[in-house]
Amino acid sequence: MTPQRTPKLDRKQVVDTALHLLDEVGLDGLTLRAIAARLDVKAPALYWHFKDKQALLDEMATEIMRRMTSRTTGAESGPFDGDWRGLYLTTMRTLRAELLRHRDGAKVYSGARFTDTSYAAGLDASLRVLVDAGFTLDGATRAWYTAYSYTIGYVIEEQAMGPDPFAGEAGYDVEARAERLAAHPLAAEAGRVMFQDFDAGFEGGLALLLAGVEATLLGR
């Protein structure tokens, strides 16, 4: 199929439309055909800008990253100058908040290959704060990537199991789960920890990571 160039269409317009449509239909419902229909063009017109859906998802993830970066510009210095703990916690909280801005945002972001290097300056500065605080580069990288992976994974589960503000769904029925697991009281009660109050759950896990990172990687 030969891509059709449409003068009125550009990459940013496609990505912005895709992100808006994502909030309406979720990742499973996001197709190039649906995006083209929303833009009032034929589907082949999108192939001029993106060779396939994965290429578009990569650009969507990059745009999410750009928006997050624009909201945290300067955070690597100033109030976090030398405060690696504050930087560590705030960056992961910001990443979670940005992923939650979009339905299935964490799934789009997970495993994406960024299409530019706009993330690099912030990452470099953040790692510098950790290295200056006493981490080796290997330790700083491992500490950062572990929290990064935790945050993305947590939000994937949160968006799958928690209330869905985009679809107006209540989320996983913890009480029904407890009834099914009545013969296994500890497993039943664990559901209240895992599937309720996702804010508290995220903060608890992040605190565990911070303590572990400090105990095992700082100064070693």
Could you read off the pLDDT of 188-203 as tens digits, one per residue? 999 999 999 999 999 9
Rounded to an integer, what distance in angstroms lies between the CA atom of residue 216 and that of residue 49? 46
pLDDT value for 170: 87
Could you read off the pLDDT of 83-127 as tens digits, one per residue? 999 999 999 999 999 999 999 999 999 999 999 999 999 999 999
* Domain 74-216, CATH among 1.10.1200.10, 1.10.3720.10, 3.40.50.720, 1.10.357.10: 1.10.357.10
**Domain map of the chain by residue range?**
74-216
pLDDT value for 79: 59
Under 8 Å CB-to-CB from 15, ≥6 apart: which residues?
56, 59, 60, 63
Q: At residue 3, does pLDDT exceed 80? A: no
pTM to 2 decimal places: 0.89
Q: Is the sign of the CA dihedral 106, 91, 208, 100 positive or negative? A: negative
Could you read off the pLDDT of 24-83 as tens digits, one per residue? 999 999 999 999 999 999 888 898 899 999 999 999 999 999 988 887 655 444 556 789
